Amino acid sequence: MPASRSHERAKARPAWIPGLLIAAALAIPAAPAAVLADGGRRSPDDPAWREECGSCHVAYPPRLLPAQSWRRIMATLDRHFDADASLEPGRARGIEAFLVANARQASSESALRITGTGWFRREHDEVAGLFSSAAVGNAANCGACHPQAEQGRFNEHEIRLPGGNKR
C-alpha cells in the first residue's frame, strides 16, 4: 500500500482507539495458574476420578495416556498394578468416560504405564538416573520433581530436582 494511503488511514482512526485496545487487553483477567497445564491447556477435573485415583497415587491427568490405554486400565481394576482397585460399576464407568473423553489424542501406543510411553521416556531421558535414587524411588513418583503434580501441572519451568536444584 502506498505510504500516502496508510497515512490517510492512520489519520482517519480516532486517537482514542489505541488506548481503548490497550485498556481492553489489560482488563482481561488471566486464568488462574492452578487450572492451567502444559502450554496453557486447561487440565480437566472430575471429583470421582480425583477421589478414587488420587486416594492411592497422583490422579494422573487423562492426557498422559491414549483412550485405549485408559479403557484397558479401567477394565482390569481388580488387578491394578498388583492391587485390587475395584470400584462400583457405575462409578467405574463414569471415571472411564472422563478419562477417555480427555485422553491423549490418537496414538499407536497402548502402554498401561505412563512411564512406559515413548513420550515419557523422551521427556525424562536426561534425568532417568534419578528414578532409582532414594529421593525419588521410581519413575511414577511425579511429585518428587514436579511439585504441582497433584494439581495436574508438569510445567518444565516448575521442576525441582532432588537436592533443591531447578532443571
Rounded-to-5 percentages of helix, strand, coil across the chain:
55, 5, 40
Rg (CA), the chain: 23
Distance from C-alpha of 105 to C-alpha of 98, rounded to nearest angstrom: 14
Domain ranges of the chain: 45-112, 115-167
Residue 119 is predicted with a pLDDT of 87
Confidence category of residue 165, pLDDT binned at 50, 70, 90? low
Return the percentage of the chain with pLDDT > 90, whole number. Answer: 52
Give residue-wise pLDDT tens across range 143-161: 999 999 888 888 889 999 9
Give residue-wise pLDDT tens across range 47-87: 999 999 999 998 999 999 999 999 999 999 999 999 999 99
Q: Residue 36: what are its φ and ψ, rounded to 5°?
A: -100, 145
Asked whether the predicted pLDDT for residue 46 surpasses 80, the reply is: yes
Return the percentage of the chain with pLDDT > 70, whole number. Answer: 71
Alpha-carbon distance values, 128 to 35, 117, 138 (Å)? 28, 14, 9
